[in-house]
Amino acid sequence: MTACLLLVHGWGLDASFWAPLRAALPEVPTLAWDLGFTGHGERPLPSPGSPVIAVGHSFGLLWLLHERPIEWCSLVSINGFSRFSRAADLPAGTAPRLLARMIERFGEDPAEVHASFLQRCGIDQPAAHPGLDRASLGAALDGLARWDERPAAVDLALAGRNDPIAPPDLTEAVFAGQAVEWHPGGHLLPRQDPEWCARRLFRLWEAWA
């Protein structure tokens, strides 16, 4: 049976994030899960027996590794990580105090924290989401602070040389010894250059199709 791509977005985003990439892969069956951060959670299941290539963007990869919601035959990281926060053996991680401050501010003004984060990712004018799900966003922030899914093997890792969220030193640390394909862009590679991502995903999909 033909393999499908299961796409999981990052923190603060939703399934629509994947629209440009899906358009660049018209021959490939895709499913985009929505983690419900903006109030529209949905997780359609693949056809029975269909091999699944799981693709996690940013927090989406960490979520896949932590939750293991479905069995996959192949795992792909785009701007992703298996641990985000700094640790004694991961000095490239984000400082815990910065995450703690973000969590504190989120409790006070979730809409402002959400918009500010999306701007930092590279979305100049993020759309307002009146339906923000504070519980799921807050739980995911806690996951960013605490979850550690190392070591994690991926079959493909795509990363941005100018990623402000998952910078190169973090990427190289969590995927030590694994091949990483670098793009000069930032944290939103599936939107910034969907064709570049699509070519690499298509090669992997062909191996399972």
pLDDT digits 0-9 by tens, 136-167:
999 999 999 999 999 999 999 999 999 999 99
Contacts for 43-47: CB closer than 8 Å, 24+ residues apart: 43/69, 45/70, 46/4, 46/6, 46/70, 47/1, 47/4
Rounded to whole angstroms, how far apart are CA atoms 156 and 44? 23
pLDDT band at 123 (very low <50, low <70, confident <90, very high): confident
Do 41 and 14 contact (CB within 8 A), yes or no? no
| Average pLDDT of the chain to the nearest whole number | 94
Q: For the chain, state the CA radius of gyration.
A: 16
pLDDT greater than 70 at residue 200: yes
The pLDDT score that the predictor gives to residue 129 is 64
pLDDT band at 127 (very low <50, low <70, confident <90, very high): low
Q: How large is the average pLDDT for residues 16-40?
A: 95
* Angle in degrees, 0-180, between the axes of helices 110-121 and 96-108, rounded to the nearest 10: 130
Q: Which residue has the higher pLDDT, 209 or 62?
A: 62
Q: How large is the average pLDDT for residues 186-202?
A: 98
Q: Percent of the chain, pLDDT > 70?
A: 97
| Largest distance between two CA atoms of the chain | 49
CATH no. of 4-208: 3.40.50.1820
pLDDT greater than 70 at residue 125: no
The pLDDT score that the predictor gives to residue 155 is 96
**pLDDT tens digits for range 32-80:** 999 999 888 899 999 888 999 999 999 999 999 999 999 999 999 999 9
The pLDDT score that the predictor gives to residue 126 is 60
CA distances in angstroms from 159 to 31, 33, 42, 113, 138, listed in the order given: 22, 21, 27, 24, 26
Q: How large is the average pLDDT for residues 89-97?
A: 96
